[in-house]
Amino acid sequence: MPYQQDLTTHPYLEAMSRVKGWPPPGTPALTVGWLAPEHDFPTALPDDAFLDALFYLCAHRSIIRTRGFHNCLLPHATRPAAICVVRRGDEEVRLGSAEIGVVAAGGELLLAPNLVFHYIEEHHYQPPAIFTEAVLARRTITPPAGVPF
């Protein structure tokens, strides 16, 4: 997963639109949380309501699945497990092989690797406010039936 500055054009979605017919051509699709260790990012302590809503998306609304797992490359005090697993309550999710998507208030699609949950919980990455608002509002991207996400 290459680094992308927040709120820049998603690198793959336009091609998906051409091939799969979704999202509709011309729909703005922007990246959130495509982090890399050589690029600084804003930080803040996340609140529980936001983490709850984000965890739900990662556990139940992941899209654009890949076959392999991408792990967090940010610095850790101890070596992380090969696959990033996060827990919330009784539920457990393996991160790093899908994205989550929400719709901003202005209609833009905002797509983040589902590792964004780990980035926020563990590294205190502060995503753009329009992403936080869309997650809390639970405006989830729902591709139409037949689109193989």
For position 16 contacting Zn ion by CB under 5 A, the verdict is no
Is residue 74 near Zn ion by the rule CB under 5 A? yes
- Considering only the stretches 27-35, 64-72, 99-107, 134-142, report the one whose residues sit in contact with Zn ion under the rule CB under 5 A: 64-72
Residue 124 or 138: the one with the smaller Cβ distance to Zn ion is 124
Within 94-133, which residues bind Zn ion (CB under 5 A)?
none
Q: In terms of Cα–Cα distance, which of 69, 65, 98, 99 is closest to 84? A: 69
Helices (H), the chain: 13-20, 48-60, 116-123, 129-136
**Beta pairing class for 29-31 and 109-113:** parallel
Minimal CB distance residue for Zn ion: 72
Amino acid at 27: T
Q: Look up residue 33 and give its amino acid.
A: G
- Binding-site size for Zn ion (CB under 5 A) equals 2
The minimum distance between CB 24 and Zn ion, in angstroms, equals 35
- Could you say whether residue 53 binds Zn ion (CB under 5 A)? no
What is the phi/psi pair of residue 92, to 5°?
A: -130, 140
Phi first, then psi: what are they for 140, rounded to 5°?
-80, 145
Check residue 72 for interaction with Zn ion (CB under 5 A).
yes
Note the residues at the interface with Zn ion (CB under 5 A): 72, 74
